[in-house]
Amino acid sequence: MKKNSLIDGFDYKCVIESTVVSPCFTIAIPTFRRQDLLLQAINSALSQVCNFEFEVIVVDNDPEGFISEEILAIIEKSNGRVAYYKNLNNIGMFNNWTQCFYLAKAEWVTLLCDDDLLDFGALQKVASLNLECANIISGGFTRVDLITGRVTGEGLFGTVLKKLFWIIVDSDIAKIESKDWLYQCVTPPGMVGLFLRRKLVLSVGGFDPNNYPCADYYALYDYCKRFGSCYLIRDNLGFYRIGVNEYASGKVMLGFVEKNNILRKTISTDNNDDSWLSSFFINILTCSDAYAARKFEVTQVLDSLAISSILRSRFAVQFGRLIILILILFRAFKKRGLQLEKKI
């Protein structure tokens, strides 16, 4: 089914209506046939400790699916804070993300995938900032094993990078610039703990499913490039849970390798940097992505991208990551001491 327009969204029905009229924030939960996880996501959304109105909306992409008794019960006890929508057709994951922004009432929206959780203080932390000066607020997150609940961490590279970055920035906030997206998707995986302006997301067309499985990376870079005023904050705002994820298949992982490569070349061009050094960094990052997907057959993808075999070794990947680490930290020095003033 094709989208009618960004004004009309996709065809849907409202199963349960929210009574919140003018929320400061919308927590939007896209879901598809995971009622047990959805229950936990709704619970985390309703557990917000804050002194203002917010709404929670569930956008169910399973037209024929049921709503569990447990979910109906928690919605009934929410004092009208939760709305439940069903798409009349399965419109795909990324179109459903866009639908979430269409159906939200608030100016500021955070997307909470049904297998993730929101920190109980997330809304209050973001609301304390001077949001008039921002278009994206992206918080920290904790990576958690979905089955065991154990914190898995970011690995040695990610942990060292995060700690050194904030030490160098010497602030609780850092501004995201267009070129920062070349070295990494600077926002959290799965959009957890990411706050966006509803109208601006819709104005860029939402999340294009043609960029699957990296449609969030593509859309957020485009958003940042067009509107600017994008900020990272040090505080953890959510929990990214690993375990039940459609990204775990070989086909999807290979899609990441290829699509990330294409986007990085676009970012390099947008920043008027088509030098051999930029090309080298892009190839190293692509090999790093491929190494992460090494249990799948990646040779054909790397061949199609014309990446030298010299860069494909484990040593080259680790050496390349070290160089990227240095570059990211070098860029962090430019962000030192930045403050996005808090409300008084």
pLDDT of 13 over the 90 cut: yes
Quick one: pLDDT band at residue 328, thresholds 50, 70, 90?
confident
Task: Quote the pLDDT of residue 60.
Answer: 98
Average pLDDT (270-297) is 79
Average pLDDT (282-288) is 84
The 3-class secondary structure across 5-32, one letter per residue, is ECCCECCEEEEECCCCCCCCEEEEEEEC
pLDDT in tens, 126-184: 999 988 999 999 999 999 988 888 898 777 777 888 888 899 988 899 999 988 998 88
DSSP alpha helices (H): ranges in 138-213?
Answer: 155-169, 180-183, 198-203
| Contact indicator for 126, 234 with CB cutoff of 8 Å | no
Task: Quote the pLDDT of residue 289.
Answer: 80
| Contact indicator for 267, 181 with CB cutoff of 8 Å | yes
Average pLDDT, the chain: 87
Nearest to 146 by CA among 217, 235, 40: 40
Report domain 12-247's class.
alpha beta
Q: Tokens 């400061």, residue?
A: 24
Alpha carbon distance 244, 147 (integer Å): 9
Quick one: pLDDT band at residue 339, thresholds 50, 70, 90?
low
Task: Quote the pLDDT of residue 262.
Answer: 94
Quick one: pLDDT band at residue 310, thresholds 50, 70, 90?
low
Choice between 278 and 231, residue whose per-residue pLDDT is larger: 231
Task: Quote the pLDDT of residue 3.
Answer: 44
Query: What are the structure tokens assigned to 150, written together?
Result: 């154990």
Choice between 91 and 3, residue whose per-residue pLDDT is larger: 91
Q: How far is CA 57 from CA 28, 190, 197, in A?
A: 5, 17, 16
Choice between 212 and 314, residue whose per-residue pLDDT is larger: 212
Give the start-to-end residue ranges of the domains of the chain. Answer: 12-247, 249-333
Task: Quote the pLDDT of residue 185.
Answer: 85
Quick one: pLDDT band at residue 4, thresholds 50, 70, 90?
very low
Quick one: pLDDT band at residue 104, thresholds 50, 70, 90?
very high
Alpha carbon distance 184, 197 (integer Å): 22
